[in-house]
Chains A and B, each alone.
Chain A
Amino acid sequence: MAIEGTWEIITGNQAAAIAAKLARVKVVPAYPITPQTTIVEYIASFIESGHMDAEYIRVESEHSAMAAAIGASAAGVRAFTATASQGLLLMSEVLHWAAGSRLPIGMAVVNRAVGPPWNIHVDHQDAMSQRDTGWLQVYISSNQEVLDTILMMYKVAEHPDVLLPFMVCLDGFVLSHTYMPVNIPRQEDVDEFLPEYSPPHWKLDPENPITFGNLALPDEYQEMRWSMDLSMRRALDLIEDVAEEFFQKFGRYHGGATWKYKVEDADYIVVTAGTMASEAEVAVDELREEGMRVGLLKVRAFRPFPHRDVAEVLQDRKGVIIIDRSIAFSSGGPIGIEVRSSLYNISGSPPIVNYVTGLGGRDVTYEDIVKMTKDGIGRITSDRLRRPYYWYKLKPEYEKIELSEEVRL
């Protein structure tokens, strides 16, 4: 298929800003935070130079950025913002509010470690700690995928069966500030793919006045939460369908809720997300050259979590190596926890080795992934799998303490 559009060499943040422009978002409330800043700078310049028709609200905090996005979406227009780390955490209260209001707001989250100490580098703890806010979360491996996924996720989020907000999560600096070739689709093609947003459920409108969000007593509340859960689950199939539709129109496919690489004949499968997944592709090739049949399952959607897909791919394998860039203190990696949940109560549930690494921007290369995979396979085959999770790339003196700790499974 011929790919229309123009090629540009841009950063992940530029890709996110261009996606917001192509999606014709109408209101962008923004508050700067490293490493998200250039997204909101690009959007400001698009608007002020007349290349983008939108209202830009220079709010005084991320809490207000999300609150203003909520107001705009509730009034019936497509809204977009971007943040990272502490900014996302400050938003937390209103993240819940956006989802509970069933407003399909779009947000780029440039993943960054949380303080203290201050650290501006990649780490998934910011977004993963917001797991239960009711936001769809997709983790990204390339700048092209950033642009394409924002367009696709508006389509998913605004579907009448979903109506939940979404985060597209891109690794701080690794994608946000790194230049890659990106195909910029034509505006008319995007307009065809993603028509103007018109709320199918409710909006603030004096012509049709309703009260939204007043007290709901125990007799009413639980069904409202259930409906969010149902929509989240229904989003899974839609993510696949929209990815297919995007492929048909634009000729690019980045996976649906997951992306699979050389899994068909694999004995062992590496599971990871974000840019570690693109390193893992290289690692899989290396390991296969050494004669190990290894495949990669990249988790794109962390919410909704593709439990069935994950179980189908991992069932009956000799082992699974899960690499997380976030620590759920005392429980391991957030993806590790989810994958265990996917595999419990099924037959042929494989052994799992979960590694926590790469925190606060500690580099994780394909060589590291090769090492972790070999270490994991070694533990599985020699019956040395004693811990629910392992820290990888701790400094030796800390590694010593870690390994001397009594294991309490």
Chain B
Amino acid sequence: MTLTIHDLRKESGSYLPGSAACPGCGATLAFRIASRVLGPNTVYVVPASCFSVIQSPFPKSAISAPLYNIAFPAAAATASGVYRAYKMLGRDVNVVVWAGDGGTVDIGIQALSGAAERGENIIYVCYDNEAYMNTGIQRSGATPFRAWTKTTPTGKREMPKDMPMIVAAHRVPYVATASVGYPFDLANKFEKAKKIKGFRYIHIFSTCPPGWNSPVSKTAEVAKLAVDTYFWPLYEIENGKLRITVKPRKRPLKEFLELQDRFRGLSDEEIEELEKIVMEKWNFLLHLEKSERVF
């Protein structure tokens, strides 16, 4: 069954009005959709991230599900403990890590890898705004090649970590990429993940207007263009088998890049170089799609 907007509208989700998010925040869009699919029988574990602030300060909260804030490197381990305790209590609850890219690909990668290797029955979500945004736009291991941040003022010189593939290499039952520009693809991946037992990983491309200097009214458009230009391909790996879930007609990468100031000033050669990298990845995914098992 595929979820439609009617299904999503039936659920209220766990995101309440009055959060402390920036206008046009992609992470909140992702949370709103994900929490509608996951439902109220869900516990969230959140490491240091924009979401530590978005939920709003004590004694208020914009999240209506139980949510536990934990130290930056520790989310996957804490979620493991929560899941094991519920297992001992005989309770079936969705245990979800809701983490940013810093808390996932950098400082949290060790705990994440441990939990994935142990096959903890949790859903790990990385909402990826491609830099340390909560601390004010510093580069992370997920920041794209050539992107401007305050610690890469002339553009990042390294390629980002391919985190979904790193997690998939742990042979977990479900890994997916998603984008807030494709909400039904995103919703359906949560729907699928919810029904699978074991370690599940969903990596969501989440537009950050203040961090990327993109127009606040174009959060969805930027995230859609990321997919349509093949900058952020949407795929899932279920029990080792890869499937590209959205195969749009390719649009020029420039259309995606020019909506954000973080790629401003790239020369035509540099844009061409990025196009080449993007196409290499796309072709590689097409190749992997033909394999019986990726991992």
The residues of A with any CB-CB pair to B shorter than 8 Å are: 26-27, 29, 53-55, 57-61, 63-65, 67-77, 79, 93-94, 97, 204-206, 208-217, 220
B65 within 8 A of A: yes
- Chain B residues near A67: list those with CB within 8 A: 70-71, 73-75, 77-78, 81, 111
- What is the 8 Å Cβ interface bit string for chain B, positions 33-70, against chain A (1 contact, 0 not)? 00000001111010000001101111101011111111
Since A67-B81, A213-B70 are in contact, a sample of 4 more A-B pairs with Cβ atoms closer than 8 Å, ordered by chain A residue number, is A63-B74, A71-B78, A71-B83, A74-B81
A-chain residues with CB within 8 Å of residue B87 when the two chains form the complex: 55
Residues of A contacting B110 with CB < 8 Å?
60-61, 63-64
Q: Are A27 and B85 in contact (CB under 8 A)?
A: yes
Q: Does B152 contact A (CB under 8 A)?
A: no
Q: Which chain B residues lie closer than 8 Å to A211 at the CB level? A: 55, 61, 63, 66-67, 69
Given known contacts A64-B114, A215-B57, A71 and B79 CB-to-CB distance under 8 angstroms: yes
22 sampled A-B residue pairs with Cβ under 8 A: A26-B88, A27-B88, A58-B118, A59-B77, A59-B80, A60-B117, A61-B110, A63-B73, A63-B74, A63-B110, A67-B75, A71-B45, A75-B81, A75-B82, A79-B85, A206-B42, A206-B93, A208-B66, A212-B68, A214-B52, A214-B69, A217-B58
CB of B238 to closest CB in A, whole Å: 25
Which residues of B89-127 are within 8 A (CB) of A?
89, 93, 110-111, 113-114, 117-118
B145 within 8 A of A: no
Q: How far is the CA of A29 from the CA of B82 in the complex (A)?
A: 11
Partner of B58, one of A58, A72, A97, A215: A215
CA gap between A67 and B89 in the complex, in Å:
19
The minimal Cβ–Cβ distance linking A134 to chain B, given in whole angstroms, is 14
Contact of A55 with B77 in the complex, beta carbons under 8 Å: no
A70 neighbours in B (Cβ, 8 Å)? 70, 74, 78, 81
Are B58 and A214 touching (Cβ within 8 A)?
Answer: yes
Q: A27 is contacted by which of B81, B117, B118 (Cβ under 8 Å)? A: B81
Interface pair B84/A27, CB less than 8 Å apart: yes
How many whole Å from A351's CB to the nearest CB in chain B?
Answer: 44
A29 contacts B81, C-beta separation under 8 Å: yes
With contacts A67-B70, A68-B78, A204-B66 known, is A214 near B55, CB below 8 A?
yes
B54 CB, nearest partner CB in chain A, Å: 10
Contact, CB under 8 Å: A68 / B65 = no
Nearest Cβ in chain A — how far from B245, in angstroms? Answer: 29
**Complex contact A204–B68 (CB within 8 A):** yes
Q: Which listed residue, B56, B65, B70, B114, touches A97 by the CB 8 Å rule? A: B70
Question: Known contacts A94-B71, A206-B42, A211-B67; is A75 also within 8 Å of B85 by CB?
Answer: yes
**A77 to chain B: closest residue by CB:** B85
Q: Which of A64, A71, A79, A220 contacts B59 (CB 8 A)?
A: A220
Task: Give Cα A348–Cα B83 distance, bound, in whole angstroms.
Answer: 56
Complex CA gap A151/B162 in Å reads 47
Q: State A77–B84 Cα separation when bound (angstroms).
A: 10
B71 cross-chain contacts in A, Cβ below 8 A? 67, 93-94, 97
**Cβ A209 vs Cβ B77 within 8 A:** no
A220 touches B58 (CB 8 A): yes
Residues from chain A with Cβ under 8 Å of B81 in the complex: 27, 29, 57, 67-75, 79
Complex Cα–Cα for A67 and B82 (A): 10
Cross-interface CB contact of A71 among B52, B82, B93, B114, cutoff 8 Å? B82
Are A213's CB and B68's CB within 8 A? Answer: yes
- Once the chains bind, are A61 and B88 in contact (CB under 8 Å)? no
In the assembled complex, which residues on chain B have CB atoms less than 8 Å from the CB atom of A215?
A: 52-53, 56-58
Partner of A77, one of B40, B57, B78, B88: B88
Residues of B with C-beta under 8 A to A54: 88
Q: Are A68 and B66 in contact (CB under 8 A)?
A: no
CA–CA, A65 and B80, complex, Å: 10
Residue numbers in B under 8 Å from A60 (CB-CB): 110-111, 113-114, 117
* A72-B65 in contact (CB<8A): no
Cα separation A380 to B278 with both chains bound (whole Å): 79
Partner of B84, one of A55, A64, A214: A55
Residues of B close to A29: CB separation below 8 A:
77, 80-81
CB neighbours (8 Å) of B52 from chain A are 214-215
Q: Report how far A236 CA is from B7 CA in the complex, Å.
A: 56
* Distance, CA A69 to CA B42, complexed state (A): 19
Q: Given the complex of chains A and B, what is the CA–CA distance between A53 and B90 in angstroms?
A: 13
With a CB–CB cut-off of 8 A, which chain A residues contact B53?
215
B66 cross-chain contacts in A, Cβ below 8 A: 204-206, 208-212
Say whether, besides A61-B114, A214-B58, A216-B58, A55 and B88 are in contact (CB < 8 Å): yes
Instruction: Identify the closest chain B residue to A74 (Cβ).
Output: B68
Closest B residue by C-beta to A105: B81
Complex alpha-carbon distance, A362 and B275, angstroms:
65
Contacts of A76 in B (CB 8 A): 85, 89
A382 to chain B, nearest CB (A): 53
Q: Which residues from B are CB-within-8-Å of A206? A: 40-43, 65-66, 93
* Other-chain residue from A55, A64, A72 in contact with B111 (beta carbon distance below 8 A): A64
* Assembled-state Cα–Cα distance A158/B97 (Å): 27
Once the chains bind, are A72 and B74 in contact (CB under 8 Å)?
no
Q: Which residues of B contact A69 (CB under 8 A)?
A: 81
Instruction: Judge whether A214 and B57 touch: CB under 8 Å.
Output: yes
What B residues does A208 contact at CB under 8 A? 66
